[in-house]
């Protein structure tokens, strides 16, 4: 699986996740965060960097 999910009901489109990503696998459009799952190294930076907790992943345990 290895799926990441950005909950649009929580996401504020601020880009905190994008700038924290060490491999630049995230992209912030005007109102959507895109994730390139192939490039993702599953470090979890984005999940913690998100101030409101909009990002979850099936490989991340809380």
Partner 1 sequence: MKRYEYDVLVIGAGPGGSMAARYAARHGLKVLLIEKRPEIGVPVRCAEGISRAWMDEVEIEPQEKWIDAEIDGAKIYSPDEKSVIKLSAEQAGNEVGFVLNREYFDKYLASLAAQEGAEIWLKSPAVEIIKEDGYVRGAIVRRFGEKVEVRAKIVIGADGFESQVARWAGLNTVLRERDIVSCIQYRMTNIDIEENFTHFFIGSCAPGGYVWIFPKGRKEANVGIGVALNKLKSKGEVKKYMDDFIEKHEYLNKGSIIQIVTGAVSTCPVPKRIVDNGIMLVGDAARLIDPITGGGIANACISGKYAGEIAAKCINNPSKECLEEYQNKVKERWEKKHLRNWFVKEKLAELSDDTLNKLMDVVSKEDISEISVRAILEAVQKKYPELIEEFEDLL
The residues that touch partner 1, with contacts defined as CB under 8 A, are: 12-16, 18-20, 22, 24, 27-30, 45, 47-56, 60, 62
State the nearest-atom distance from the C-beta of 12 to partner 1, in Å: 4
Nearer of residues 2 and 24 to partner 1, judged by Cβ: 24
Are 53 and 44 in contact by the 8 Å Cβ rule? The answer is no
State the nearest-atom distance from the C-beta of 43 to partner 1, in Å: 9
């Amino acid at each position: 699986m290895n799926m990441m999910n950005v909950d649009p009901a929580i996401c504020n489109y601020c880009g905190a996740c994008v700038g924290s990503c060490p491999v630049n696998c995230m992209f912030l459009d005007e109102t959507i965060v895109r994730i390139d799952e192939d490039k993702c190294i599953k470090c979890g930076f984005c999940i913690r960097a998100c101030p409101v907790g909009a990002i979850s992943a099936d490989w991340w345990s809380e």
